[in-house]
Amino acid sequence: QMCQIFQDDALDSAGKVTAFYKRLMESEDYAEDLEEMEVEHQGKKRRHEMVTCFDMRAPLPPGPNSTVSCSDWSGCGPGLDSYMWEFQECTLLIVQIGFSEKSMFPYRPFTMEWLTDHCRSKFGIWGTPQPHGLVEEWGYDDLVARGASNILFTNGLNDMWSAGSYLSNVSETVLALNFPNGAHHSDLSHQGPTDDDTDDLKQGFDQITDILTNWLNEM
């Protein structure tokens, strides 16, 4: 039902969000969820001094001419990690994603012109987008012909980014592992498998460990 709201062409972006929350508040689980949230909130209130004013600059990445949406329109966030991520998306990792009229977000088509202007305002000439850089420099379009080896692609298939990855083995040493229940980089957790992981992820951690161990032993 929630998905149908965002597929309703009769609603604009604001109308879709309004309808979503109206349906949410009418759901049977909403009262129970509110109670759990209140308990969690009170715990945090006791542990931390409540902030009375939200700093609108808090989500901004560091550096000059920062914007909340940044080069990644889903947001980069604060801190040096976001600064590095924005530089990556301003140079070699060009993510051509916009928002359609059927999205919950305001209509906003992707343009290379906007990205170029934004990135150069952030990083100067070093921030020039290179949409074909990964192919030209690293041969991502034909790894085997470029002599690539010992690369392991791991894909959580619930992560939309998996559509742009290698989903099958390319050679004996350029491999792909797919996890039907995997999400966004859940396969890269430094904690390893936990009780919360699904069986395919738990098995995947063992496979990853075995593959990397064998490669290191061959070096």
pLDDT at 42: 58
Say whether 26 sits in a helix, a strand or coil.
Answer: coil
pLDDT at 47: 47
H/E element, 153: strand 151-156
Distance of CA 181 to CAs 161, 187, 199, 200, Å? 14, 10, 9, 7
Alpha-carbon span 211 to 219, nearest angstrom: 13
pLDDT at 91: 94
**Domain map (residue ranges) of the chain:** 2-47, 55-131, 134-218
Alpha-carbon span 86 to 91, nearest angstrom: 9
pLDDT at 33: 62
pLDDT at 49: 52
pLDDT at 70: 85
pLDDT at 54: 66
The greatest distance separating any two alpha carbons of the chain, rounded to the nearest whole angstrom, comes to 60
pLDDT at 194: 83
* Overall pTM surpassing 0.85 (yes/no): no
User: Tens digit of pLDDT per residue, the chain (219 long)?
Assistant: 667 887 788 887 778 888 888 887 777 666 666 666 555 555 555 444 555 666 777 777 788 888 877 888 877 878 888 889 899 999 999 988 888 877 777 888 999 999 999 999 999 999 999 999 988 888 878 888 888 899 999 999 999 889 888 999 999 999 999 999 998 877 777 777 888 888 999 999 999 999 999 999 998
Residues 87/61, Cβ–Cβ less than 8 Å: no
pLDDT at 90: 93
Q: Residue ranges of the alpha helices (H) in the chain?
A: 2-6, 13-25, 29-47, 79-91, 112-123, 133-138, 199-218
Tokens representing 103 are 């999205």
Tokens representing 160 are 């939309």
pLDDT at 219: 84
pLDDT at 58: 76
